[in-house]
Amino acid sequence: MNIFNLPDLGEGLQDAEIVAWHVTEGDYVISDQPLVSVETDKAVVEIPAPYSGTIKRLIAETGDIVPVGGALAEISTERDKDTGAIVGDIGPKAEQAHPAGSRPPAPPGSPTVQAAPAVRRLAHERAVDLAGVAGSGPGGAILSSDVLAAASGTVPGEELRGARRAMARTMTMSHASVVAATVMDHALIDGWSVNEDPTLRLVHAVVAACKAEPALNAWFDGKRRQLHDHVDLALAMDTPDGLFTPVLRHVGTDDVAGQLSVLKAAVRDRSIQREAMKGATITLSNFGMIGGAYAALVVTPPQVAILGAGRISVQMTVVDDHPGPSRILPLSLSFDHRVVTGGEAARFLNAVKENLERENIDEEKGSS
């Protein structure tokens, strides 16, 4: 009998959430057959069976968060011996298989509430009826926090999972290491056509700025800086499940609109792979599509910069000594001041502004 543990999925990830089992107890699997799907770092990863054998027990259940090296399943590497077709077989009876992620039915007379003895003791002390408490633990198990919440009349908190859990981990890492600073400006976009796509214009403006000031198209690990001669641009996308940052590869050399459409569809139906959200050299957040003008954004290491675009509005401005209404696009550039100077950031933002204020751009090449 072998215990199959959650393998190291790379990128320094510490755990993963069980999304779905593709087998049930009693199934015979072959090596590399899809075994279980897990979610980690905002993407769903399918883990194959490490060897052939019979699934004797599913140790982790759907919804469990399992640490790397934690037990997933018990697999027998030998086929069960045939006991023969003897009526009234007196040999040990195999356990009834139950659906993946579920628990076997409780024997008659046993309590149906899933709660550890310590939790039951706490419920007794606080005069809480466990039958009326919704468990937030794995498989619906009632936790001490659920009992305390019920006793105080409050709603128990929800554990972060999936994309939100990954976001919390990333933001914590950024806060602990990056020395962030932000510069702001705006672009006058009266020259844009009525059908102009703001996101595409911003993507090309970032490429132009990276050529003008390469210091912001870089990685920094705290000791070494690596400048890039290409732009892999992460796009911050808001979803009901949390923040996703798919990456446009080698922007300026391929069809940006086509890439963008494919990435949006993959995020929307949650088919996006981890590889599609790794390796960005700089990030763009067009948060103005939702609301807000300016923002101090979060830089995600090892990147050193993120450009934000706010909500487009019409304001009174003075152009060539003549006052009048103009369309304004607010810009916010946050950068890691450990490695990027204020002058480099200002030059980058100026290049973005100048590119956006042009009436026409080369959509295919993203010329500056």
The C-alpha atoms of residue 276 and residue 246 are separated, in whole angstroms, by 6
CATH topology of domain 2-76: OB fold (Dihydrolipoamide Acetyltransferase, E2P) (2.40.50)
Q: Helix, strand, or coil here: 184?
A: strand
The C-alpha atoms of residue 244 and residue 236 are separated, in whole angstroms, by 6
Look up the CATH superfamily of 108-159: E3-binding domain (4.10.320.10)
Q: What is the pLDDT of residue 157?
A: 66
The reply to whether the predicted model has a pTM over 0.85 is no
pLDDT in tens, 318-337: 888 889 999 999 999 999 99
DSSP class of 218: E
pLDDT in tens, 185-206: 999 999 998 889 999 999 999 9
Mean pLDDT of 119-140: 80
- State the sign of the Cα–Cα–Cα–Cα dihedral 53, 58, 59, 64: positive
| Beta-bridge partner residues of 21 | 36
Q: At the top level of CATH, which class does the domain 165-356 belong to?
A: alpha beta
The C-alpha atoms of residue 241 and residue 258 are separated, in whole angstroms, by 24
CA dihedral 207, 209, 213, 215 (to 10 degrees): -60
Q: What's the chain's average pLDDT?
A: 84
103 pLDDT higher than 70: no
How many other CB atoms sit within 10 Å of the CB of residue 32? 11
List Cα–Cα distances, 40 to 30, 324, 346, in angstroms.
Answer: 25, 51, 36
| Lowest-confidence pick of 156-165, 210-219, 319-328 | 156-165
159 pLDDT higher than 90: no
Closest residue by Cα to residue 101 from 25, 43, 29 = 25
List Cα–Cα distances, 350 to 249, 343, 354, in angstroms.
Answer: 24, 10, 6
Burial of 214 per CB tally in 10 Å (0-12, 13-18, 19+): middle
275 pLDDT higher than 50: yes
Angle at 148 between CA 163 and CA 16, to 5 degrees: 25
109 pLDDT higher than 70: no
Mean pLDDT of 231-239: 95
Of 298 and 43, the one with more pLDDT? 298
Mean pLDDT of 91-102: 41
- State the sign of the Cα–Cα–Cα–Cα dihedral 19, 23, 24, 26: negative
| Lowest-confidence pick of 148-162, 211-225, 230-244, 273-287 | 148-162
Residue extents of the structural domains in the chain = 2-76, 108-159, 165-356
Mean pLDDT of 206-229: 97
| Beta-bridge partner residues of 326 | 315
Q: What is the pLDDT of residue 119?
A: 76
Mean pLDDT of 38-53: 85
